[in-house]
Amino acid sequence: MQKVTTFLMYQERCHEAMQFYASAIPNCSIVSTIPGPDGSVAGGSFEIDGQRFTCYQSGPHPNFKFSQAISLMIEANTQDEVDLLYEGLSEGGEQQPCGWLVDKFGLSWQITPKVLMELLSSPDRVKAGRVTEAMFKMTKIIIADLEAATAAG
């Protein structure tokens, strides 16, 4: 069966984006680059924890833009990981509610603590509802506040 790989089309600054992700995300590295005119980089591939992403830059035309309809979600195990990823990827971009952010290249990300998904899928729907309410009040997700919401009531 054919492997599915995420393809990201940047208006410009594709190589800069790959370098940014490699510096902001642990276990992220540039795998390959595609030469462009005049020694520039027109595209390439990078990996995050072994998952490959391919990207290319379209130049000024056509005018491709990313949308929040598609986001990349990184599951973090600890608050330190949440902090590192959220602060790093949102540098020069925009922090948004519920652990979302838009990086400086316009790509949407969700930095989600593993425990959040566990708490939201709890069979105790009242506790899960309190977690949802707590999450809606957050920009960057704070694990201790999620755990406090489950203990409340």
The CATH number of the domain where 117 resides is what?
3.10.180.10
SS3 content of the chain, % helix, strand, coil (to 5): 35, 30, 35
Of 65, 85, 117, the residue that ends a domain is 65
**Domain housing 11:** 1-65
Both 73 and 145 in a single domain?
A: yes
Residues 55 and 112 in one domain: no
Query: 129 and 94, same structural domain?
Result: yes
- Would you state the structure tokens that stand for residue 144, as one six-digit string? 């201790």
Task: Mark out the alpha helices in 25-142 (DSSP H runs).
Answer: 79-90, 114-120, 125-136
41 and 101 housed in the same domain: no
pTM of the complete model: 0.91
pLDDT band at residue 46 using 50, 70 and 90 as cut-offs: very high
- Distance, CA of 127 to CA of 119 (rounded, Å): 8
Same domain for 149 and 76: yes
pLDDT (0 to 100) of residue 151:
87
Instruction: State how many domains the chain has.
Output: 2
Written as six digits, the tokens of 94 are 């925009």
Domain-ending residue, one of 65, 84, 104 = 65
Q: How confident is the model at residue 39 (pLDDT cuts 50, 70, 90)?
A: confident
| Residues 2 and 53 grouped into a single domain | yes
What does the pLDDT read at residue 22? Answer: 98
> Is 48 exposed, middle or buried (CB count within 10 Å of its CB: 0-12, 13-18, 19+)?
middle
Q: What is the C-alpha separation between 27 and 66, in angstroms, rounded?
A: 24
pLDDT tens-digit readout, 49-98: 999 999 999 876 677 889 999 999 999 999 999 999 999 999 999 999 99
Asked if residue 116 has pLDDT above 70, the reply is yes
Return the pLDDT at 71. 97
For position 1, what pLDDT does the model report?
A: 62
Do 75 and 56 belong to one domain?
no
Nearest Cα to 106, choosing from 9, 4, 7?
9
The residue to which tokens 């309809």 are assigned? 69
Are 111 and 89 in contact, with CB atoms under 8 Å apart?
yes
CA dihedral angle for residue 35, residue 106, residue 93, residue 21, rounded to 10 degrees: -40
pLDDT value of position 84: 98
Q: Are residues 57 and 11 in the same domain?
A: yes
**Looking at the structure, do residues 71 and 137 belong to the same domain, yes or no?**
yes
Summary mean pLDDT of the chain? 94
